[in-house]
Structure 1
Amino acid sequence: MKHAYWERVVYYSTKGLKAIAIVFVVAIVTYIVFPYREGYLATNYKVPITIYDRNGMVLMEITGDKKGLSQYVDMKGVPSEFIELLLFSEDRNFYHHWGISIKGIARSLYQNLKEMRIVSGGSTITQQLIKSKKEIIHNTVISKLAEIIEAIRLECHFSKQEILQAYLNEIYLGNNIYGFEKAALVYFDKHLSQCDLLEQAFLISMVKAPEKYNPYQNPDTIVKLARMLLDRASQSYLKLTPMQKDAYRNKKIHLQYSENNVCAPLFCLYALSKARELFPNKDITKIYTTLDAPLYKDILAIVRNSLSILKDKNALHASMVIIDNKTMEIIAMIGSIDFFDYGKGQIDATLIKKQAASTMKPFAYALALDKGIFHTSSILPDVYTQFYSKVGNYIPKNFSQSYHGPVRLAKALGCSYNIPAVYVTSKIGIVPFYNFLRSIGFDSINRSPSFYGLGMVLGNAEVTLMELANAYTIFPRGGIYSQANAIQKVVDASGKEYVVSPRKGITVLKPSTCYLISHILSEYKYKVEAFGLHSAIHFPFPFAAKTGTSKDFKDNFVAGYNSKITCAAWVGNLYNETLDNLPAVSGAGIVLKNVLVNLWDKGFSFENFTNAEKEIKSIKICLLSGLPATSWCPQTEYELYALYNLPKGLCNWHSHGKTTVPAEYAGWAAKKHYNVSQKSDIRIVFPKNGAAFKIDTTIRKSLQAIPLRVASTQKEIWWFVDGHCIGKGCEIVWQLQQGNHVICAQADKHKDYVNIVVLE
C-alpha cells in the first residue's frame, strides 16, 4: 500500500511540475511576442533636451531619460571601421544570433563556477543595451535570466540596425556620459567620425568597465587595452600596413581635461529636475536657465584655485551658490569643482544635507529683535550655563572654550559666541524658532522641534547649502522670503514656450530688523575681538557675512550678502573625513573672499546697506552695560536700534569711578576686579516666577527634572520646596511633581521665592 501511495505522489507531482513548466513557457512566449510601445528605442535620445544659460549660451545637451551627458549620432555618421572594431570586441556574432550567445553564456557560466562568484556576463550587444535601458548595475541569477528573455524579445521586434543604433547612443562610458559621440566630444574634443583608430579603440575598451577604466584616472591602462584590441583585430580581419601599426603603437592619446563641451553640468541636472517638477506632463526640448555662464566659469576657476591651497588641510571639495536678490534667480551654482572627478565629482554638494553650524545664528537673533525680546545692546550672559531639556541638561560651550561675561547682543552675534546664542533661543522658544526656520525654506529640518532642541541655533540640524543661501536672502530683501528659481522658461516639442513667473514672496521679518542684522554682520567692529584684524571676512567693501564650523572640523560654511547678491559656500570632504583643524573663517571664508574680491576688481558694485531712516535710531551707549551712557561710562559708542525697541533707563553699572556688575557675573567680575551688585545677596535665576512645566507621560518621571539655579555672592545656598529642604548648592536638580509649588533659596538671612506650577 505504501509503495502505491508514493507512486501516486510521484505521478501527480510530475504532472504538476509539467503543468507549471508549460504555464511558465507560455507566459514567457506571450511576453516575448508582446510588442513594445512605439518608438521604444528611438524617442528618448533622438530629441535631446538643450539647456541654455540666461544669455542663450548652450550649457549642455542631455537625454530625456538619462540624467547624464549625451549627443545623438546617426549610424550614417559613424565610420564603418568603428562598427567593425566594436563588433569584433563586443559581439562578433551580432548579425547571426537572436539576442544571446550560447557560447558566451557557457563560457561565463564556466568562469563564474570556477571563481564561485559572478565575474563574467557573456553579454551580447543586445544584452548590454537591455542593461543600459533597465539600468541594471549588479548581475544576479534572476537579473541575468530577465536580461536573456528581454534580449530575445528585443530581437523579435527590432532590426539589427535599430538595436545597434540605440546601442551607440545608450551605452554608458563613464563620467556620466552616454553614447560614443558624446564620449568622443568630451574626451577628445572631436566628433566620433573624426577619431583615429587608436581613439576609437580607446572608447570601445571602456565599455566593459567604464568606472574602473576611467580615462581621467587610468589613461595609460585604457591605451594599453586599446592597443591590445587593435593587435587582435589586425591578426583577424583588420588589414594594417606596418606603418599604420607603428602609428597606433607609438601614438599618444591627448585627453581633454576641461569641460569643453559642457558647462555647469550639475546645475543643468538641477534645472532639469526643477523643469520636470514645474511641467511634469510636457515634452520639454529646451530649458532656458537663470545661470550666468561667464560668471560661473570665472567663479569655478577661483574656487578651484582657492581649494588647491587648502588641500593640505584635507579640504578636497567645495560648492557655492549665488542668488540675485532682486529677481531671486540663481546666477551661479557650483556643485563640485570637477564634474569628471572619478571620486565625488558628480555629487552636487549644494544639495547634500550638512550641519551648517554658526551660520544659523543670525536667524535666532533676527527673530528675537523682531519680537522685541531683546534690542541690539541687550546684555546676554556668556557664562557657564545649563539649559533644561526633557532629555537632560544642555551645557553649550564657546568655540574658544572660554567665557566673556556680560556681552551685548550685537557683539555676541558678530563674535559668534555660542552660549549667548543658545540663551537667546531659549527666550524665543524652541517651537517658534523651529517654525521660523521652516517658514524660510529649511525643508530639511523635518524632525520634531524637541529632536533638535536648543542646538538648532548652533546648526545641529542638517540643511543644504541651497537652503542656506535661499534663507539668507531675507536680510537684503527687507524680510521677504521667496524661493530661488533656476529656470526662466521652457520650450516643448511643438515649440510652445512656458515662462516661469517669479514666485510670490511672504513677509517674515520687519525691514528694520533686517537692516540691524545686516549692520551687525557687515561692521567689522563687532567681529574683531573673535576674528582679529586680518580675518578673511573683513572685506574692503560693504558685505555682511557669517561663518560656521561644524563639530570636529567636518564642514566649513559661510553665508553672506550685499544689496545685490546673496552667496553661500561650503568647504569640506565628501569622504566624510574631518578637516585638519580648519575653521570656516580660514577655509570657506577664504573661498568667499577670493570670489568677492574678483567681482570687485571687475567693477561689480558693492553698495552700502540702506534703511528707512524713520525706523532706525542711533543712541550713545555704555559698551559694558549696553544701556544709554552717562558721564561715568569709560567706554562708549553709538548703537543702532529699531524705534519700537529702544533701551530703557541709563547705565547704572558705572558710578563715581567704580564698576558694579550684576551678581550672576560674579566669577567674571572677580577677574576684571569689578564690584558685584549687593542689592540682593540672593536671586533665583531659574525657574522664573510664574513658570509652568508639564510632565510628559511618555517619559519616565525619574528623568523629568529641572535645574534650580541662583545668582548670589553667598557660598552656601539652601533650597526649599513647599517648606521642605531638598538640598544645597548654587545649582541643584529637582524632580518635577504635579501641583503648585513655592521654591525658596536661602543664604544666611537672605531669601528669594518663586511660584511655579507643574501640570500632568
Structure 2
Amino acid sequence: MAKTFKILVILFILGVIAAAGITYGVYNHVKDRIPTVEEMKAIELKIPLRIYTRDEQLIGEFGEQRRTPLSYEDVPTDLENAVLAAEDSNFYHHPGVDIMGLLRAVYQLVATGEIQGGGSTITMQVARNYFLSFEQTFTRKFTEIFISLKMERELSKHEILELYMNKIYLGKRAYGFEAAAQVYYGKPLSELDLAQYAMIAGLPKAPSRYNPVVNPSRALIRRNWILQRMLSLGMIDKEAYQTAVETPVTAKNYGVAPDVEANYVAEMVRSQLYETYGDALYSEGLVVYTTINSQRQKDANKAVYDGVLAYDERHGYRGTIATNPELVDQPVDQQQSELESHSSMPDWTTALVLSTTDQTAEVRLANGEQVELVWDAISWAAPYINEDSHGAKPEKVSDVLVKGDIIQLRPDDKTVWRLAQTPTVQSALISLDSKDGAIESLVGGFDYFSNKFNRVTQSKRQPGSNFKPFIYSSALSRGYTAATVINDAPVVFHDSNLAQAWRPTNDGGKFYGPTRLRQALYRSQNVVSVRLLDEMGVRPTLEFLKRFGFDPDQLPHNLSLSLGSANLSPLQIASGYSVFSNGGYRIQPYLIERVEDRNGETIFQSNPTTVCHDCTLLDKSSPDEQQVGLFNTPNGFKTLPVAQRVLDPEVSYIIYDIMRDVIRYGTGRRARVLNRDDIAGKTGTTNDGRDAWFSGYNGDIVTSVWTGFDDMSPLGRGEWGGSASLPTWINYMRPALAEAPKSYIDKPSSLVTVRIDPKTGERALPGQKDAIFEIFRKEHVPPQRIVSTPIAEGVGERDSEVQENRTETALENLF
C-alpha cells in the first residue's frame, strides 16, 4: 500500500513538473503575443466618423463598425445582470479563466487534436476580441488564457466589463451595446426596458442566429432563457420577470438614423477629411461639426423636393411601372412580393390597382394594406407627350389607371397617398451666411441614394441672366449709372472669338429701344447686356470679375459672357452673390466648423474670413499681412481674419437697389408673396431653356437655386428661372426669414438721389411731371438742365433752378 502511494506521489510530482514544463514551454511560445500593461491600458476602439450640424444634430456616420463607446458608470444595471446571466455569472469571482471550461478544452485537445471551443469567460472574450483572432487553434487558446490572467491582474473587473460592453459584435455592423440599442431599437441604451436588455444580451453567443430582426422566434427563446437565468440568480423578481417575458419582440433594423437628412453634405465632409486621414478616418472616432443649420437644412430638403415634384407634375404622367391584371386575383403575399420587387423612392411605396370607379381607385400597398385613392390624388396626371406638351386633363380615374396597374405613390398631407412617378428633372440649393461664408444648407439633388452626383459643387452649368449683375457691377464701377441709356435694338456682332456673326435677341424677340440700365437689368434685356459689355470691353470685364472669385481662364472670352454662357456651379454663383449681400466683401464658403478627436479635444477649428462691420480691427505687423479683427461671437470674443473689400459700397448698394426692383417689378415678382422689402435677386434662364436659376439675398443670407436635367435636355416651353427655380427659393426663404428681422444693405452716405427723365436718363427739367428718382454716386450725378422759358409767370430760369435744387435737396435728405 505504501509502495503504491509512493508511486502515486511520484507520478503526481512528475505530472506537476510536466504540466509546469508544458506551461512554461507554451508560455515561451506565445509570450510575444501577450500585450504589455501599457498596451492594455492604451486600448483604443475603432469608432466611426460622425458628422453633425452646428446645433449638434447627426447627419452622417462613416465606418464599418457602428460603435458608441460608453463608460462602466453608464451601463444600466439590468443590462449588466443580463450579460452576466447569459455569458459569465461567475465573472466577479473567477481569476479570468473558467477551470471547468479549461478542462473541457484540454479533453478536446487530447481527443481530437484541436480546440473546439468551450468555457470562455467575459475576460477571455475581451482578450480574444482585442488582441487575437478567432481561429480555433491550440496556440490561440492558450494565448487567450495567458492574456486573460494578465488582464485580471492589471485591470479591474469594471474596466474589463467596460471593454466587453464596447467591443463585442452584436450583428448589423453594431459593435458594443450602445450601438446595438440604436440599431435594433432606434434609441439610447438608457431608454430600453428589461426585455430589450435581455434581447441584446443574447446576441454575443451568435449574432446571426439570435438576431431579433432576422430570427425573431429564436431570439425570443434565448431572451426568455436569459430572463429565467436572471430570476434564478436573484437578479430580478418574479413580477419583473413575468412582465418581461410577456413583452412582444419590438426590434427593427433602425441602422443609425440621422436626425437631419443631409447626405450630400456628409459626403462632402467625408471626402474632404479623407484627403488628410485616409482609411483611418473611419475608425479614429472623429466628430465633425459643420456649419449646417438643422432647421434650414430640413426646409431646404422640403423646398427642393416640392419644387421638383411640382415641375414633374406640370409636364404630365409618364405612365405606370407595369400592368399585370392577373396579379389582382393572386394571394396577398404574392402581390406583396411582386410589389416589393419594384424599387421606389424613400418613404414612397409601390401599389397594385385592384379596381376603379370614376372618382376613386382601390389599391394594394407593398406592405399588404388596402387603401382608397381619391380623385384629388390622381387628377393631375395628364398624359406626358414631351417636355413642351402634355395631353388633355383626365376626367375620370380610368383615363389614368386600370385594374392591374403597378404604380408609385408618395405621402401627401391632403390625400394621404398621391399618385407619383420618379422625377427625371433635378434641382440644387445652397444657402450661405454672407458675413463669413458659412454654408447653412445644401441640397445637391432630388435624391442622394439614387444619384450621388452633387450638383451644388460638381455640376458646371450656364447661369444665363443670373450672371448679369456681375456685368452690371463692372459697368457701375467704371462710370456707368443706373440711368445710363443703351439702345435695345437689333444688332449684329462680328466677334473674332465667335464662329459666326451673332444677332442677340431678348426673350420673346421684342426690342424696347433706348433703355436705362436699371430697367434692362430688372427686365433682363439681353441686347442691352451685350451692347454694354461690348462698350466696356471683354478683357477688362474679365479682370474685374476676379473680384467675385471667378477665374477669367474659365470664363468665355467673348460677348456671350454678358448672357451668362460661362459654366459655373451653384456654389460659385452663391459665393459671388455674397459680395452683393455683405456690402462688397469677398468671403470664402466653408462647411466644417470644427473637428474633435475621440476624447472630445478640438483638433481643428475654423477661422473664416469675416466681414468686419462691428469688430475691432487689430494692428498688422506688416502691410502685406492679413488684417485680423476681434469679433464678438456667440462663443465669446474671437480673433478672425477680416474679409477684403472688393467692390465699392456705392456700387454694391446700387446693384442691391436694382435687384430689389427685380422682385418689385421684374422677373422675380413671385417673391413678393414673402412681403419682404429687404430681399433682392435675379432670375436666370439659358436661351435654350436647359438651365433655370434664381439667386437672391438680403443683408445676411444668400440662396441660389438651380433646376435642369443632367443630360442637358431643355426644361420645356414656359419654364424659366421664375417658374422652375424661384418657387423653390421662396419655399426655402419663407421659413428662413419668418423669424428674422429685416436686413437691408447699408446705403452709403455718399450716394445721392435726384429726379431724372425716365426716357433719357438725364436730369429732370424743373416741374417735369413724369420725372422719377434715381440713385447716383456724387461724381456721376447728371448735370442740371436749363430751360429757356420760365415754367410759371414771374419765375425765370435762375429762379426755377434754385427752386429745383431746393426740392431735390429736401428729397435727398429723406433718402
Q: Which residue of 2 aligns with 1:285?
A: 286
Is the contact between residue 275 and residue 287 of structure 1 (CA under 8 Å) also seen in structure 2? no
1:554 aligns with one of 679, 690, 694? 690
1:320 aligns with one of 429, 432, 455? 429
Aligned mates of 1:388, 1:651 — CA distance in 2? 41
Residues 361-418 of structure 1 deviation map (CA, whole Å, 9 limit, x = unaligned):
000000110121x111100121111223113322211122211111100110111111
- The DSSP-based 3-state class of the residue aligned with 2:305 is helix
Cα separation, partners in 2 of 1:425 and 1:179, compared to 1, 3 Å: farther
Alignment of 1:41-120 (within 5 A): 46-63=46-63
Residues 556-589 of structure 1 deviation map (CA, whole Å, 9 limit, x = unaligned):
2111111111111122333544323311101211
- The DSSP-based 3-state class of the residue aligned with 1:520 is helix
Q: 1:524: Cα distance to partner?
A: 5.0
Aligned mates of 2:493, 2:697 — CA distance in 1? 33
Alignment of 1:208-607 (within 5 A): 260=258, 263-275=261-273, 285-313=286-314, 316-339=425-448, 342-344=449-451, 347-372=454-479, 374-390=480-496, 391-443=499-551, 446-447=553-554, 449-450=556-557, 453-492=558-597, 495-503=601-609, 504-524=642-662, 527-528=665-666, 539-574=675-710, 576-581=712-717, 582-601=719-738, 603-607=739-743
Q: 1:519: Cα distance to partner?
A: 0.4
Is the contact between residue 356 and residue 548 of structure 1 (CA under 8 Å) also seen in structure 2? yes
475-484 vs 308-317, which moves further: 308-317
- The DSSP-based 3-state class of the residue aligned with 2:487 is strand
Alignment of 1:127-166 (within 5 A): none
Cα separation, partners in 2 of 1:525 and 1:556, compared to 1, 3 Å: closer
Aligned mates of 1:52, 1:297 — CA distance in 2? 14
Aligned mates of 1:650, 1:355 — CA distance in 2? 43
Aligned mates of 2:184, 2:508 — CA distance in 1? 49
Q: Which residue of 2 aligns with 1:641?
A: 776
Is the contact between residue 434 and residue 587 of structure 2 (CA under 8 Å) also seen in structure 1? no
Is the contact between residue 627 and residue 651 of structure 1 (CA under 8 Å) also seen in structure 2? no
Aligned mates of 2:286, 2:659 — CA distance in 1? 44
- The DSSP-based 3-state class of the residue aligned with 1:639 is strand
Residues 228-267 of structure 1 deviation map (CA, whole Å, 9 limit, x = unaligned):
x999x9xxxxxxxxxxxxxxxxx99988799645542221
- The DSSP-based 3-state class of the residue aligned with 1:587 is helix
- The DSSP-based 3-state class of the residue aligned with 1:427 is helix
Aligned mates of 2:725, 2:44 — CA distance in 1? 41
Cα separation, partners in 2 of 1:635 and 1:401, compared to 1, 3 Å: same
Q: 1:338: Cα distance to partner?
A: 3.6
Q: Which amino acid aligns with 2:312?
A: K
Structure 1 residue ranges without an equivalent (≥5): 1-38, 80-154, 206-225, 234-250, 657-760
Q: Which residue of 1 aligns with 2:803?
A: none
Q: Which amino acid aligns with 2:691?
A: D
181-190 vs 432-441, which moves further: 181-190
Q: Which residue of 1 aligns with 2:797?
A: none
Q: 1:592: Cα distance to partner?
A: 1.0
Cα separation, partners in 2 of 1:593 and 1:534, compared to 1, 3 Å: closer
Q: 1:468: Cα distance to partner?
A: 0.9
Q: Which amino acid aligns with 2:732?
A: V
Residues 185-243 of structure 1 deviation map (CA, whole Å, 9 limit, x = unaligned):
6898479999999xx9xxx99xxxxxxxxxxxxxxxxxxxx99x999x9xxxxxxxxxx
Is the contact between residue 694 and residue 726 of structure 2 (CA under 8 Å) also seen in structure 1? yes
- The DSSP-based 3-state class of the residue aligned with 1:46 is coil
Aligned mates of 2:176, 2:550 — CA distance in 1? 38
Aligned mates of 1:513, 1:325 — CA distance in 2? 17
Identity of aligned residues (%): 22
Cα separation, partners in 2 of 1:574 and 1:189, compared to 1, 3 Å: farther
2:765 aligns with one of 630, 650, 674? 630
Is the contact between residue 429 and residue 444 of structure 2 (CA under 8 Å) also seen in structure 1? yes
Cα separation, partners in 2 of 1:612 and 1:230, compared to 1, 3 Å: closer
Aligned mates of 2:652, 2:592 — CA distance in 1? 28
Q: Which residue of 2 aligns with 1:609?
A: 745
Is the contact between residue 670 and residue 726 of structure 2 (CA under 8 Å) also seen in structure 1? no
Aligned mates of 1:551, 1:186 — CA distance in 2? 51
TM-score by length of 1: 0.54
Is the contact between residue 536 and residue 590 of structure 1 (CA under 8 Å) also seen in structure 2? no
Q: 1:490: Cα distance to partner?
A: 1.9
Residues 27-54 of structure 1 deviation map (CA, whole Å, 9 limit, x = unaligned):
xxxxxxxxxxxx9xxx999132222222
Q: 1:316: Cα distance to partner?
A: 3.7
Is the contact between residue 51 and residue 60 of structure 1 (CA under 8 Å) also seen in structure 2? yes
Q: Which residue of 1 aligns with 2:796?
A: none
Is the contact between residue 184 and residue 254 of structure 2 (CA under 8 Å) also seen in structure 1? yes
TM-score by length of 2: 0.50
Cα separation, partners in 2 of 1:589 and 1:534, compared to 1, 3 Å: closer
Q: Which amino acid aligns with 1:479?
A: G
Residues 103-132 of structure 1 deviation map (CA, whole Å, 9 limit, x = unaligned):
xxxxxxxxxxxxxxxxxxxxxxxxxxxxxx
| Number of residue-to-residue matches in the alignment | 501
Is the contact between residue 289 and residue 488 of structure 1 (CA under 8 Å) also seen in structure 2? yes
Q: 1:358: Cα distance to partner?
A: 0.9
Aligned mates of 2:432, 2:514 — CA distance in 1? 37
Q: Which residue of 1 aligns with 2:332?
A: none
- The DSSP-based 3-state class of the residue aligned with 1:563 is coil
Q: 1:344: Cα distance to partner?
A: 2.0
Is the contact between residue 676 and residue 742 of structure 2 (CA under 8 Å) also seen in structure 1? no
Aligned mates of 1:383, 1:538 — CA distance in 2? 35
Cα separation, partners in 2 of 1:521 and 1:285, compared to 1, 3 Å: same
Aligned mates of 2:705, 2:686 — CA distance in 1? 14
Is the contact between residue 184 and residue 195 of structure 1 (CA under 8 Å) also seen in structure 2? no
Cα separation, partners in 2 of 1:184 and 1:589, compared to 1, 3 Å: farther
Q: Which amino acid aligns with 2:603?
A: E
- The DSSP-based 3-state class of the residue aligned with 2:780 is coil
RMSD between superposed Cα atoms in Å = 5.7
Q: 1:535: Cα distance to partner?
A: 6.0
- The DSSP-based 3-state class of the residue aligned with 2:696 is strand
Q: 1:638: Cα distance to partner?
A: 0.4
Cα separation, partners in 2 of 1:351 and 1:168, compared to 1, 3 Å: farther
Q: Which amino acid aligns with 1:428?
A: M
Aligned mates of 1:584, 1:255 — CA distance in 2? 42
Q: 1:604: Cα distance to partner?
A: 1.4
Aligned mates of 1:554, 1:355 — CA distance in 2? 9
Is the contact between residue 328 and residue 485 of structure 1 (CA under 8 Å) also seen in structure 2? yes
- The DSSP-based 3-state class of the residue aligned with 1:403 is coil
Cα separation, partners in 2 of 1:545 and 1:511, compared to 1, 3 Å: same
Aligned mates of 1:264, 1:519 — CA distance in 2? 34
Q: Highest CA radius of gyration, 1 or 2?
A: 2
